[in-house]
Every structure is written in C-alpha cells, then in structure tokens.
Structure 1
Amino acid sequence: MACETERTPLGVFKCQLCALTAPYSYQGRQPPDSQSVVLLEESYVMRDPFTPDKGRFLVVGSRCSMCGRLVCVGPECSLFYSKRFCLPCVQDNVDAFPQEIQQDLEKRKVPFTRPASQRSS
C-alpha cells in the first residue's frame, strides 16, 4: 500500500503558455527516492505514472529564468540552455543565444520572427 505522500500531490502545475496541467509531487532540485539525481533547475516533478519504480520521475516544468512565468518543458513553451527560458523571452532576446539555439528555434512549429535587422532582403 502506498504511503499518503505518494498518493497526494503537493499541487497542480499549470503552464502559463499552453495551460497544460499536471499534479506534481515535488518541487526542487533533488527528487525524493533518487539520491544520485540533482536537477539543474528548480523543477516541478511528478512520479512517473508508467512505472512502479518509485525512483522514476517526470519533470513537468519550471519557472522562466527571465520573466518568472511557469512553463512546461514542452518544445512549444520553453527551452533549457543552462537555465529555463520561455519561448516569448527567447524570441525577445534571440540575439543573446548562440547560433545553434537560433537555428533550433527556426525548426520549431512555434511562429518565430527574426528581428528586422537580421531579415534578408
């Protein structure tokens, strides 16, 4: 029988861009039951519902390191480049990111407009 803390989520994570909602069981950098894992960002984590292994988890989302909004880890909403960034902040500051990140953004389905100074004539 599962203990009460495993059955009861701490809260419900809601992405402020796509409105994804998911119950989370931990918020922080070192999920319980996974002593060898330290996340690179404060994350909202849920136990993996697809496995009975209680040490397995899924990262649901985090806060954008620029604006602070809650965003899921979906490619339509955020990216991780040393820190979590929501796509609106990335688009507003695209020149601050390496060329590889800029190329990755162009491949995504999200409409991305380059600054007028970088558009080819």
Structure 2
Amino acid sequence: MIVEEPQYEPEYEYVDDFSDLKVENEEEEIARLQLPPPVPQDIRDDKERIATIEFKCSGCDMQELVHYFGQKPPFAIGVKFREDTYVMRDPFQAPPQRWKLKPEFYVAIGAHCAMCNKVVCKDTSCSIYYTKTYCLQCGFAKSKSWPVEAQTKLRKQLTD
C-alpha cells in the first residue's frame, strides 16, 4: 500500500521581490552611507577644561587654579551651593564623553568669609561652615549666637 503525503499549502505567498533593495551604482551608495569625517573640537571646548580662576587661601596661603566661582557649576549637574564657592573639576577623573550629559566629579576648594570677605579654603585649620563659610577668627566671634552643637564643633576644631 502506498501512502501519499498530504500536500500542505502555505498560509502566505512567498514573493522573491527585492527590487527596492537593488542599487544601480553600489560604490555611490557605499560612499553615501559612510560616516562623515570627524569634526575637529571647537577651541572653546578645550578652553572650558582649563582652570583659569586663581584661588589663594588667606589662612594657609594655598594657591590653586580653579574652573569656576559661583553657586551653580555647569559641569556639576544638579548642584547648587548656598554661597559663591571656588570649584574645580576632579583632576583624577577623565573628561566625560561630549555626547553624554553626565555630571562630573568636582572639588569645592573654598569660599569668601561671610563677615570679613577673606578668601579661605575648606580646610578645618582655615575655616568653619555653619550656614555660611567663616574664617576661624570671624567664626569664633560669631559663634556666641550659634547653637551649642556648633559652638562645640568650633571649639574642638580650634583645639585640634
């Protein structure tokens, strides 16, 4: 007995029509699809990465060039200081890729004393921060109106 295999008809019709993929001149099409040559970086982008603002602490004479002075550094996305602050990019971190919006690490170096306007660094031997930055002399004079915890912190800082 011979058994015939049943004939199955596909549910769809296969059409070998790739006419829309055919290219008249293949070399021209390849040249058209090539990436454009890299655009040289704008000179302003390079200058942005160079620290140009001079910072010198009046307490310890530390000198450093910083990238920004103000409250909202453009490279530290989402950061806003309560007072104008000297800020530099983290020197140990590679620059972020240009096309990615990524905050950079930063170092807050110092600020102006809220009373005498001297430039002081954030080191505990030069300044104290309580709602604002104060040099140690002004901080000690102003501390009498501060809460006990802040006064204790300042006294401990002065004895160390």
How far off is 1:33 after superposition? 2.1
Could you tell me how far apart the structure 1 residues matched to 2:151 and 2:112 are? 21
Percent of paired sites with the same residue: 32
Partner amino acid, structure 1, of 2:71:
R
Structure 2: unaligned runs, 5 residues or longer: 1-40, 97-103
Q: Does 1:3 align with 2:46?
A: yes
Please point out which of 101, 110, 118 is paired with 2:150: 101
Could you tell me how far apart the structure 2 residues matched to 1:97 and 1:10 are? 36
How far off is 1:53 after superposition? 4.8
What is aligned with 1:56?
105
Structure 1: unaligned runs, 5 residues or longer: 113-121
The within-5 A match list for 1:22-33 is 22-33=64-75
TM-score, scaled relative to structure 1: 0.81
Question: 3-state DSSP class of the match of 1:84?
Answer: strand
Partner amino acid, structure 2, of 1:62:
A
Q: Tell me whether 60-69 or 48-57 shows the greater mean CA deviation.
A: 48-57
The verdict on how the C-alpha distance between 1:9 and 1:53 changes in structure 2, with shifts beyond 3 A counting, is closer
Please point out which of 127, 130, 133 is paired with 1:81: 130
**C-alpha offsets along residues 17-68 of structure 1, whole Å, 9 cap, x if unaligned?**
1111111110111111222111111001111112225511101100011110
Larger Rg: 2
Could you tell me how far apart the structure 2 residues matched to 1:80 and 1:106 are? 13
Could you tell me how far apart the structure 1 residues matched to 2:59 and 2:114 are? 15
Partner amino acid, structure 2, of 1:77:
C
> What CA RMSD, in Å, does the superposition of the two structures yield over aligned residues?
1.9
Contact 2:128 2:154 in 1 (8 A): no
Could you tell me how far apart the structure 1 residues matched to 2:70 and 2:53 are? 13
Greater RCO structure (CA 8 Å; 6+ sep): 1
Could you tell me how far apart the structure 1 residues matched to 2:75 and 2:143 are? 38
Corresponding pairs, count: 110
Higher strand residue share: 1
Could you tell me how far apart the structure 2 residues matched to 1:95 and 1:31 are? 33
Q: Does 1:13 align with 2:62?
A: no
Please point out which of 44, 62, 86 is paired with 2:86: 44
TM-score, scaled relative to structure 2: 0.63
What is aligned with 1:91?
140
The ranges of structure 1 where at least 4 consecutive aligned residues each deviate by more than 6 angstroms after the TM superposition are none
